[in-house]
Amino acid sequence: MTTVGIDAVEIWTGNLKLDLPGTFAPQKGEDPEKYTKGLGLNASSFPDSYEDIVTMAANAAHRLMDRKGLEPDDVGRIDVATESAFDNSKPVSTYVAGCLEQVYDGDFHHANKGERKFACIAGTQSLDDAYNWIRAGRNRGRGAIVIATDTALYARGDAGEATQGAGAVAMYIAEDPDLVELSPEQGYGSADETDFLKPNQQFPSVDGKRSVQVYLARMREALQDFESVAGDVHPDDIAFIPFHTPFPGMVRKAGLLGYRYITRDTAIEDELAEEIGRQPREEAFDTEDDYHEAVREYTDALKGTDRYQQWYAETIDPTLTVSREVGNWYTGSVHIARISAMKHALENGRDLTGETLLVGSYGSGAQAEIHAETVCESWSEEIEALNVDEQLAARYDMSWEDYEEVHDAHNHEMDVDVEEFTTPEEEFVFDGWGRMGERKYRYVE
pTM of the model as a whole: 0.97
Q: Is the pLDDT of residue 174 over 90?
A: yes
Distance in angstroms (rounded) separating the CA atoms of residues 53 and 58: 9
pLDDT of residue 209: 86
> Among 62, 99, 115, 244, which one carries the catalytic annotation?
244
The pLDDT mean for the chain works out to 96
Q: Which segments within 376-438 are labelled E, that is strand?
A: 396-397, 427-433
Distance in angstroms (rounded) separating the CA atoms of residues 149 and 166: 8
Active site residue 83: yes
pLDDT > 70: percent of the chain:
100
Q: Crossing angle, helix 208-230 and helix 248-262, to 10 degrees?
A: 40
Three-state SS letters, 148-211: EEEEECCCCCCCCHHHCEEEEEEEEEEECCCCEEEEEEEEEEECCCCCEECCCCCCCEECHHHH
55-104 pLDDT per residue, tens: 999 999 999 999 999 999 999 999 999 999 999 999 999 999 999 999 99
> Among 10, 51, 83, 325, which one carries the catalytic annotation?
83
Q: How confident is the model at residue 208 (pLDDT cuts 50, 70, 90)?
A: confident
Distance in angstroms (rounded) separating the CA atoms of residues 58 and 98: 9
Give the pLDDT mean for 133-157.
97
> Among 51, 120, 369, 427, which one carries the catalytic annotation?
120
Given a contact cutoff of 8 angstroms between Cβ atoms, the answer to whether 56 and 149 are in contact is yes
What count of Cα atoms within 13 Å lies in the side-chain half-sphere of residue 32? Answer: 8
Distance in angstroms (rounded) separating the CA atoms of residues 51 and 427: 10
What are residue 397's DSSP bridge partners? 17
Active site residue 376: no
pLDDT of residue 1: 63
Active site residue 120: yes
